[in-house]
Chain A
Amino acid sequence: MSTIKEHHKEHHIALPEGSIGKTTTTLNLGPTHPATHGVFQNILEVDGERIVSAEQTVGYIHRAFEKIAERRPLYQITPLTDRLNYCSAPINNMGWHMTCEKLLGISTPKRVDYLRVIIMELARMADHIICNSIIGVDTGAFTGFVYVMQYRELIYEIWEEVCGSRLTTNIGRIGGFERDFNDIAFTKLERFLKEFPDVLREFENLFTRNRIFMERTIGTGPISAEKALNYGFTGPNLRATGVDYDVRVHTPYSSYQDFEFEIPVGTTGDTYDRFLVRNQEMWQSLSIIEQAYRKIQDIKGEEGTVFHADVPEYYLPEKKDVYTKMEALIYHFKIVMGEIDIPPGEVYHSVEGGNGELGFYLISDGGRTPYRLHFRRPCFIYYQAFEEMIRGSLLSDAIIVMSSLNLIAGEMDG
């Protein structure tokens, strides 16, 4: 056990000349935060205001998703995946559906892929809107939050038209969507595409060249690209350090290869870079949604009405067929009672979630429910590096670093 002076020296805390040595205070940045971040605890050793070391405790919202998933057939696991990163629930849903489709060997038609891309990019924007506005709130600027939350409500309305729910959407089915997007949904989408760019520009004007914001965020919580890769960072946090790894480009899924978009990267990996990367990603998402919308309008004729793949064993048939045809009745019964067996095998599929690479590792033994389902949760993996990022910084900087990492407790514990 080193003396206090040595302890301070190894953590680069400069003691004034002639000082005898100090003790550090233990501060509990406890599970009850001011409402916005979620439940995780940091036990900090602070020397005055500077943080000497930290220890994280997670698991305050451990809901045993992986164990629950062993008792549910595939479509009943979708509501569980909603509640992982609940700020962008549709991305989790779509990722799960794509994992099931990979296991079952189903390929979806192009129109379904493009509709999925629209929903996923809207979800990504919803997640980044919350993250960036909460960085603003944590530095004390509440205005940005209320400006952009209005447009988040419009995104909720679009999801509500398709699936009926705002936040935990359970959107889509294995093979496609449960219903086609009606005209109201497209009208709302057009309104969003028309009105949101101005709001986003106004939001950027509030923060990006704001002197106070820049001084608070530049240089706080930096991490180098090499360390970030070793810690398993993915998503905007990794792109802010300069590595352009994006699952949508590396292993394209759901026809992302048909779209043209850029991947914004930062340089130093500090909070300001993370904020800017997320802002730029929102612009890129807007452009992807416009491209997808145009592509959908270009699909004419018979294909322009298809919204799911033709897989009667896994996709519920239409009610009018259930009442009139025998095969539809049997499929309906088998799907609802959970009597469809999944082929044995193991598959790993990942999507680019709001926070990085969200992976699903599914092992099936041929029964009706998965044998083992593991979620590769990006928040859990990169929260380990938090201690290194805040060592030596002030307490208020630690709060900003925490909010800029976009830690969602549901995804961290799961």
Chain B
Amino acid sequence: MARPVSYNVNEKPLESDISIAELPEGYQGEGFFAMKLSDVVGLARKNSIWPLPFATSCCGIEFMATMAAHYDMARFGSERMAFSPRQCDLLMVMGTIAKKMAPVVRQVYLQMAEPRWVMAVGACACSGGIFDSYSVLQGIDQVVPVDVYVPGCPPRPEAIIDGVMRVQDLVGKEDVRRRNTEHYKKLLNSYGIQ
């Protein structure tokens, strides 16, 4: 039924039945393996991101399709969609955020515990989308700092998964001291978040 795919040229060849995550660089010896702490922590965190789906409109339905069996997102470690901000790592804002809803987004972001990342899914969350009107917030980066933007109206499930993979890259390469740096604190201060 499917037509031949012509653009997926970076396919990872299947070496064995089960693919295992890539091991970061390190120094190996008899009974020990030494590597950077941030690599280990990053490896553990990036393969078990628990998202908080903040689905408001049409992008939420594409998220439901991503979560379902066809484009399974659980294989990226997001098995448990924790709907409580206290228990999750990634805030996925999917759909239009109206000005009435903006304080709610901010409050949910404030309730999340560090480390936390934010993904803006869809054109409305990135920049207001097709709704340039008096009641729509023109992009959630007016109220919360955003890490990854996924464009599309709505983005295909493959695009949402691509966004999750970019977040995984960010999480895997994060420095353990990043949250205490001046740069990060200045960023949060610019949003009025302590």
Contacts and interface: CB of A to CB of B under 8 A. Distances in A.
A63 B56 contact: no
A34 B83 contact: yes
Contacts of A83: 57-58
Contact of B58 (A35, A149, A150, A168): A168
Nearest to B130: A79
A35 B104 contact: no
Given A60-B98, A145-B68, A146-B69, A31 B104 contact: yes
Contact of A188 (B1, B96, B101, B133): B1
A221 interface: no
B57 A38 contact: yes
A247 B153 CA distance: 30
A60 B154 contact: no
A130 interface: yes
A87 B1 CA distance: 25
A191 B1 CA distance: 10
B136 A63 contact: yes
Given A61-B57, A64-B131, A149 B64 contact: yes
Interface in A137-173: 145-146, 149-150, 152-153, 156, 166-168
Interface in B44-79: 53-58, 60-65, 68-70
B58 A32 contact: no
B134 interface: yes
A150 B81 CA distance: 20
Contacts of A167: 58, 61-62, 154
B139 to A, nearest CB: 14
A352 B194 CA distance: 51
A87 B58 CA distance: 8
B156 interface: yes
Interface in A340-392: none
A67 interface: yes
B108 interface: yes
Interface residues of B, number: 34
A249 to B, nearest CB: 29
A193 B131 CA distance: 37
Interface string B20-58: 000000000000000000000000000000000111111
Contact of A149 (B53, B65, B104): B65
A167 B135 CA distance: 24
Nearest to A168: B58
A156 B133 CA distance: 30
Contacts of A149: 64-65, 68-70
B1 A31 contact: no
B151 interface: no
Q: Which applies to chain B's interface (DSSP): helix, strand, loop or mixed?
A: loop
B95 interface: yes
A312 interface: no
B96 A61 contact: yes
A410 B57 contact: yes
A79 B56 CA distance: 18
Given A35-B63, A35-B64, A188-B1, A64 B57 contact: no
Contact of A35 (B60, B65, B130): B60
B183 interface: no
B100 interface: yes
Nearest to B51: A35
B57 A150 contact: no
A86 interface: yes
A166 B62 CA distance: 9
B1 A62 contact: no
Interface in A189-236: 191
Nearest to B83: A34
Nearest to A82: B58
Contact of A67 (B62, B81, B108, B133): B133
Nearest to B3: A184
Nearest to A146: B69
A150 B69 contact: yes
Contact of A32 (B70, B81, B108, B154): B108
Given A149-B70, A153-B70, A168-B153, A30 B104 contact: yes
A68 B128 CA distance: 14
Contacts of A410: 57-58
A402 to B, nearest CB: 15
Interface string B103-121: 0100010000000000000
A396 interface: no
26 contacts: A30-B104, A31-B101, A32-B54, A33-B83, A35-B64, A36-B64, A38-B55, A59-B98, A62-B135, A63-B98, A63-B131, A64-B134, A68-B131, A82-B58, A83-B58, A86-B57, A86-B58, A87-B61, A149-B69, A149-B70, A152-B65, A153-B68, A166-B154, A167-B154, A409-B56, A410-B57
The 3 closest A-B pairs by CB, nearest first: A149-B68, A64-B133, A86-B58
Interface of A: 30-36, 38-39, 59-64, 67-68, 79-80, 82-83, 86-87, 130, 145-146, 149-150, 152-153, 156, 166-168, 187-188, 191, 409-410, 413
